Amino acid sequence: MLPPEVIASLAEELAVADREKRVVPRITARHPDATVEDSYAIQGVWRDRSLAAGRRLVGRKIGLTSRAMQQATGITEPDYGVMFDDTVWESGATIPFDAFSNVRIEVELAFVLAAPLEGPHCSVFDVLRATEYVTPALEVLNSHIELDGRTIVDTISDNAAYGGMVLGGSPVAPDAVDLRWISALLYRNETIEETGVAAGILGHPALGVAWLANKLHQHGARLEAGEIILAGSFTRPTWISRGDTVLADYGPLGVISCRFA
């Protein structure tokens, strides 16, 4: 692994990039031997400093769980990041465009847990039993590391490119519908940019949550009751410019909208 002082320095570099809304060179270009374990260590230092500064963790995001996203990024392994309370908006919100770098939107489902989830053998059925409800969500991607040539190590270090989450639509109990068949139409400025079906997430969106519970077990952690888990996108990311309006139509599960100003 990278020396602890290098991991701490890279975590601070990313924290400064977040505050200053700028992009830094790829970690793997400067440290080609950096591993996935290094990237989670960098993310963990940044997370712990954020918690110490008073931010509150509300959940986790899972990324790169669908073929659409893996093909869009060239990365084939899922990843995860953390979500804080100051990164959550409700449908209809006006979101500050300048709060992010490389702004993109993804279509997702959010699982809200009623009970803890812990690996190492968490299954879809364990996820469904532990889930209070599932609701439509949009993820705002926020990348502080240059995109060209990035690897899974760069993405994980950068909190899995998480920037924010917009919640809306109509929540449903996990056994009320076949979650695989939840679909969405993503509009940007009244033009359909992407469509997708939730089965694109590993065949079942709950499998993304199960993967995360099992992955966290390797790091001595678990998912807690009350956490919000973004299961992964089932569309490719859509680039956003200042002034854009976004609407995601989930059919029977309602709509989410927001504007970037």
Task: Give 36-57 pLDDT, tens digit per residue.
Answer: 999 999 999 999 999 999 999 9
Distance, CA of 32 to CA of 150 (rounded, Å):
11
**Whole-number pLDDT of residue 65:** 79
Tokens 């920037």 locate to 163
In the chain the domains, ranked by start, together with CATH numbers, are 57-260 (3.90.850.10)
Q: Is residue 200 a contact partner of residue 183, using CB atoms and an 8 Å limit?
A: no
Report, in angstroms and rounded to the nearest whole number, the Rg of the chain calculated over CA atoms: 17
C-beta separation of 56 from 133 below 8 A: no
Output the pLDDT for position 69: 67
Residue 45: Cβ-neighbour burial (10 angstroms; 0-12, 13-18, 19+): buried
Pairing of strands 104-113, 228-230: antiparallel
| Amino acid code (one letter) for 10 | L
DSSP readout, 69-113?
HHHHHT--S-EEEEEEGGGEEETTEEE-GGG-SS-EEEEEEEEEE
**Residue 73, both tokens:** 């990024």
pLDDT digits (tens, 9 = 90+) for 181-192: 999 999 999 999
Which pLDDT belongs to residue 73? 66
Please identify every stretch of the chain with a pLDDT value under 70, giving residue numbers as ranges: 68-69, 72-76
